[in-house]
Structure 1
């Protein structure tokens, strides 16, 4: 599959940005399906597969751990765990057995999802097209459903940790008394609702926007003649190597910060 022999430029771009969609209401795969009863199968399969890969790698590292000279996998796992544990301890000052594993999961999952952007743009779609699957987006982070789903999970945890830290009454009361004091309760409520909604929206859109723009640049480069693709694609891929872990770290770090803010006293 290439832009030269089967698609014009517009169709090529649209094809690479279209998910494999399953319309649950009719039980058929329809690329034009929208709505609540539509599943993006490629995003689900890729994200679940990458999550399983992360679990397997760390499980294997733990299983092969030895008290003697550590191997490469053990070194990698221990380095990641220590890095996340140090980052969390500097941000979340209360005691919690959940925050560090959560931060590690978010960082590695988002990192692996972003890393799919470095796979040659036509490789996986071409393989899927050859076996009869017309659409396949290999990059979960370019699907707003994936990024927004992660951010909604974070929002749920913010509510849980807010209640854990202040109680139900204290958590709800903070919406009326912070930051301007109880005498400005209506303004406090408006400000806190806006801030509360902005957290998941900003988390999801930041990750989605950065990866969507990067993916679109790769697609546009692939439309150029083959002899110039490497000239432009290689430096962009090298630059993108920095973007992949950075976006994962930002998502993880903001999650920990939001949970710390919800749990701790103002």
Structure 2
């Protein structure tokens, strides 16, 4: 019995390798092939659903997919209107919708029996860091276009100039890290837990595995929601207060 338990522990150590990805070298760069595959797969699903919905879209008799998409679009617009109180900058609504849809599909790949080939790409920091960086860069570009260079960077010194370094660290370091790591940590933990459950005996595997995957899908939807809400909040803080002040 003891030998059997030790054998299972050795098997677990060999099977579960947190953060390990199959890689390929190209032009001196290393790429995680599983992340690339699952990212392309999630993107293709989102684009495919969008094209399928657009093809069958109708104002008189909308399809179920069209209704879901319109509900998502209305929710994003409502969050932007409530947060900014102004007309959203071009592309912000589309970014919020796309981010939610892509992250949701990417997270839900964990429910497919292809985890070793196409695991959720959001469980890899090499994807979530660029996503967070894209949001922060876009926020700054929109804010500079709305306020001007002097007006935007000058707000870091308000209400007190000595707080400027803290505001800069928060804007360019803390926010991207928190945005990325919040998403990555939850999805990575879910993937790891499914791998651990997979080591259980076959006759009890189906119940905890199925239950955990349902819970994992709920967490995936929640993280997609949080990422989108934070993205909208960052845009709101960058341009909303200034526009409101100018209006008065």
Give the TM-score taking structure 1 as reference length. 0.80
> Which one has a larger percent helix, Structure 1 or Structure 2?
2
Q: Is the Cα contact below 8 Å between 2:22 and 2:32 reproduced in 1?
A: yes
- After TM superposition, the structure 1 = structure 2 runs for residues 32-43 of structure 1, keeping only pairs within 5 Å, are 37-43=29-35
Give yes or no for contact 2:84–2:241 (8 Å, CA) kept in 1.
no
Name the stretch that deviates more: 16-25 or 98-107: 16-25
Let me know the Cα RMSD of the aligned residues: 2.1
SS state at 1:18 partner = coil
Picking from 175, 180, 188, the partner of 1:204 is: 180
How big is the shift at 1:142?
A: 0.7
Q: Does 1:115 align with 2:96?
A: no
The CA deviation at 1:152 is: 0.5
**Correspondence list, 1:126-205, <5 A:** 136-175=117-156, 177-178=157-158, 180-181=159-160, 185=161, 187-196=162-171, 197-205=173-181
Counterpart-to-counterpart distance in 2, 1:77 and 1:264: 26
Give distance in 1, aligned partners of 2:150 and 2:76: 32
After superposition, give the CA deviation of every residue in 1:155-178 in whole Å (9 maximum; x if it has no partner). Answer: 101211220222111122122x22
Matched, 1:92 2:84: yes
Q: Which moved more, 1:210-219 or 1:17-26?
A: 17-26
Q: Matches of 2:226 and 2:204 in 1, distance apart?
A: 33
SS in 2 for 1:22: strand
Partner secondary structure for residue 68 of structure 1 = coil
Shift in CA distance, 242/124, structure 1 to aligned 2, threshold 3 Å:
closer
Q: Distance in 2 between matches of 1:218 and 1:38?
A: 27
Q: Which runs of 5+ in 1 are unaligned?
A: 27-36, 126-135
What pairs up with 1:1-266 in 2 under 5 angstroms?
A: 8-14=11-17, 17-26=19-28, 37-95=29-87, 96-120=89-113, 123-125=114-116, 136-175=117-156, 177-178=157-158, 180-181=159-160, 185=161, 187-196=162-171, 197-265=173-241
Hey, which bits of structure 1, 4+ residues long, moved more than 6 A? Answer: none
**More moved, 80-89 vs 201-210:** 80-89
Q: Structure 2 vs 1, CA of residues 68 and 166 (structure 1 numbering), >3 Å: closer, same or farther?
A: closer
Q: How many residues align?
A: 233
Query: Does structure 2 retain, via aligned residues, the 8 Å contact 1:114–1:244?
Result: yes
Structure 1 residue 43, shift from structure 2 partner: 1.3
Give CA-to-partner distance per residue, 1:134-185, whole Å, 9 cap, x none. Answer: xx4521011001111100001101211220222111122122x22x42xxx2
Alpha-carbon offset, residue 17 of structure 1: 4.2
Q: Report the Cα distance in structure 1 between the residues aligned to 2:71 and 2:48, rounded to whole angstroms.
A: 17
| C-alpha distance after superposition, 1:76-129 (max 9, x if no partner) | 222222222222222233322311111000000000111011223xx453xxxx
Counterpart Cα distance in 2 of 1:231 and 1:85: 40
Q: Is the 8 A contact 1:18 1:137 kept in 2?
A: no
Structure 2: 5+ residue stretches without partners: 1-6, 243-248
Provide the TM-score with structure 2 as the length reference. Answer: 0.86
